[in-house]
Amino acid sequence: DLTIPALNYRTGPYAPSGIPYADGFSDYMTLINERDGGVGGERINVLECETAYNTEKGVECYEQTKGEGALVYIPQSTGITYQLIPKASADQIPIWSVAYGRTSAVNGKVFEWVFNLPVTYWDGASVAVKYAMEQEGGSLEGKKIALVYHNSAYGKEPIRTLEALSEKHGFELVLLPVDHPGQEQKAQWLQIRRERPDFVFMWGWGVMNQVAIQEAANIRYPMDKFIGVWWSGSEADVVPVGEGADGYKSLTFHGAGTDFPALQEIKTQVIDAGKGAGDGTKWGEVGYNKGVYTAAVVAEAIRHAQEMAGTASITPVQFRDAMETLEVTDEEFEALGLGGFAPAISLSCESHSSPRLAAVQQWDAEAGTWTLVSDYMEPDFEIVDPLIEEDSMAYADENGIELRCD
């Protein structure tokens, strides 16, 4: 057996986001086990550990599961990621933060054990601006963009990038922090109503998302100018708002909907067979698909590691090595039954993130579906990469880390 701890949060304030993901991840692994008998003959043992999105419980989960041969940690929370980076590095277990966590971990020269793929917050901010620019016909000169953000380290992530971009493209940036938990946002939205920004970006989390979308609907802000990050763009955020949420957009790094053979297989072979992790109602939701995406990439990495190591029962170190040379092409995605589900991945020792592409999806309230309304777009590497370099080097200095990959 190969053990993958799943630090899930099915309870607590963020459970609505945590449950679909957890279901998706487990169900995909169940599919692999049931259909293929695991990867390379080794069944995947998903070791669920409930964190309730709480850092201390995350640490406890880590300590509890690491002795069981954990191949990789997917911390499911930026806070827990930060706890685990030093610990897991010392224990030589790779960490994969799936588009959250420490952005500068992209720099594999510094962060030997940490991966942040497929895309980072800074990439996201840049893609959002790019998309806005496209909408405005190529220029943002003199435009106004408001950022509504969760007043925490996570919410503040895009600010630096956006500031750099506002300088470059000549738009005005209005910052509107919302304190946790964010149930009351009158002040922020009245301000948006007064200032009439051309776009509103949102880095929100938990209940803050619904309230923001609700308030936006209330003040009749044009929803198609309102773009959330991938953590502000799932069914849990828009469904409670109902009709008003129609047209709301968010970034995403994987496909939406259920039109993928693998998802259909999950439906028939796992959920309908009564082997699903949840009640099946989350199937095909954004969070669920995120779980499927993560699981698929992990499974691919395992397969790759097995090939490299020549043995089926691989170690965390071998897994790390495989991650650093991982290639998942479009064809391979196709073969997995996930054709067009996500852009191809190609990692290297230096770059612990790939493909660093994000698309925009839009909510159709009536149909109750998300649809991609843009291609996968690249961020403005000119802006983002220096920031990553700067931050990761500072970390290397602080912790006396020697650069690798040379």
Partner 1 sequence: MPEQLIFAMEVTLNGLMAGVLYALVALGFVLIFKASGIFNFAQGVMALFAAMTLVGIMDGQVPFSHLINAIFGTDLHHFGWHIPALLAIVLTTGVMVGLAWCVQQFVMRHLVNQPPIILFMATIGLAYFLEGLSDLMWGSEIKNLDVGLPQGINLWIDEVTFNIFGYGFFIDNLDIVATIIAALLVVSLMAFSQYTKEGRAMRAVADDHQAALSVGISLNFIWVLVWSLAGFVALVAGIMWGTKSGVQFSLSLIALKALPVLMLGGFTSIPGAIVGGLIIGVGEQLFEFAIGAPYFGGATQNWFAYVLALIFLVFRPQGLFGEKIIERV
Partner 2 sequence: MFYREAGDFKTSYIDDGQTFPIRFDRYRFYAVLAVAFLVVPFIVGDYTANAILLPFLIYAIAAIGLNILTGYCGQVSLGTGGFMAVGAYACYKLMTAFPEVSIFIHVILSGGVTAAVGVLFGLPSLRIKGFYLAVATLAAQFFLVWLFNRVPWFYNYSASGQISAPEREVFGVAVTGPHTEAWATYLFCLVFCLGTGLVARNLTRGTLGRSWMAIRDMDIAAEIIGVNPLRAKLTAFAVSSFFVGIAGALFFAVYLGAVEVGEVFGIQKSFLVLFMIIIGGLGSIFGSFAGAAFLVLLPVILKLVGVNLLGFPTDIVAHFQLIIVGSLIILFLVLEPHGIARLWNVTREKLRLWPFPH
∠ CA 376-16-244, nearest 5°, is 70
Distance CA 212, CA 46 (A): 35
Q: Which does 219 bind (CB under 5 to 8 A by kind): partner 1, partner 2, none?
A: partner 1
Distance CA 265, CA 6 (A): 22
Q: Which does 369 bind (CB under 5 to 8 A by kind): partner 1, partner 2, none?
A: none
**Amino acid letter, residue 340:** G
DSSP-derived 3-state class of residue 134:
helix
Q: Considering the complex, state which of residue 174 and residue 396 has its C-beta at the smaller distance from partner 1.
A: 174
Q: Considering the complex, state which of residue 59 and residue 308 has its C-beta at the smaller distance from partner 2.
A: 59
Distance CA 231, CA 211 (A): 14
Q: Which of 178, 256, 297, 384 binds partner 1 (CB under 8 A)?
A: 178
Rule CB under 8 A: is residue 204 a binding residue for partner 1? no
Rule CB under 8 A: is residue 10 a binding residue for partner 1? yes
Which listed range, 42-50, 132-140, 218-226, 265-273, lies at the site for partner 2 (CB under 8 A)? 42-50
Q: Which of 219, 335, 373, 394 binds partner 1 (CB under 8 A)?
A: 219
Q: Residue 256: how many CB atoms within 10 A of its CB? A: 20
**DSSP H or E segment with residue 33:** helix 15-36
Q: Which does 190 bind (CB under 5 to 8 A by kind): partner 2, partner 1, none?
A: partner 1
**DSSP H or E segment with residue 44:** strand 44-50
CB–CB of 381/156 below 8 Å? no
Rule CB under 8 A: is residue 371 a binding residue for partner 2? no
What residues does 45 pair with on adjacent strands? 3
Retrieve residue 97's tokens.
């933060």
Distances (CA, A) of 336 to 163, 333, 374: 40, 5, 23
Which parts of 96-115 interact with partner 2 (CB under 8 A)?
Answer: 102-104
Q: Which of 64, 92, 139, 218 binds partner 1 (CB under 8 A)?
A: 218
Strands 2-8 and 44-50 come out as parallel
Q: Considering the complex, state which of residue 89 and residue 191 has its C-beta at the smaller distance from partner 2.
A: 89
∠ CA 291-294-296, nearest 5°, is 105
∠ CA 378-381-386, nearest 5°, is 155
Site map 45..84 versus partner 2, x via CB under 8 A = ---xxx-x--xx--xx--xx-xx----------xx--xx-
Q: Which does 332 bind (CB under 5 to 8 A by kind): partner 1, partner 2, none?
A: none
Nearest to 131 by CA among 157, 164, 103, 169: 169
Eight-state DSSP code of residue 371: E
Strands 249-252 and 359-364 come out as antiparallel
Site map 184..223 versus partner 2, x via CB under 8 A = ----------------------------------------
Rule CB under 8 A: is residue 394 a binding residue for partner 2? yes
Residues constituting the chain = 406
Distance CA 406, CA 298 (A): 26
Which parts of 159-178 interact with partner 2 (CB under 8 A)?
Answer: 160
Rule CB under 8 A: is residue 10 a binding residue for partner 2? yes
DSSP-derived 3-state class of residue 177:
strand
CB–CB of 89/112 below 8 Å? yes
Distance CA 169, CA 165 (A): 6
Name the minimum Å distance from CB 20 to partner 1: 9
Q: Considering the complex, state which of residue 273 and residue 335 has its C-beta at the smaller distance from partner 2.
A: 273
Site map 238..267 versus partner 1, x via CB under 8 A = -xxxx-x-----------------------
Name the minimum Å distance from CB 282 to partner 1: 8
- Name the site residues for partner 2 (rule: CB under 8 A): 8, 10-11, 15, 19, 48-50, 52, 55-56, 59-60, 63-64, 66-67, 78-79, 82-83, 85-87, 89-90, 102-104, 151-153, 156-157, 160, 179-180, 387, 390-391, 394, 398-400
Residues that bind partner 1 (CB under 8 A): 10-13, 15-16, 19, 151, 175-181, 183-184, 186-188, 190-191, 193-194, 206-207, 210-211, 214, 217-220, 236, 239-242, 244, 274, 279, 281
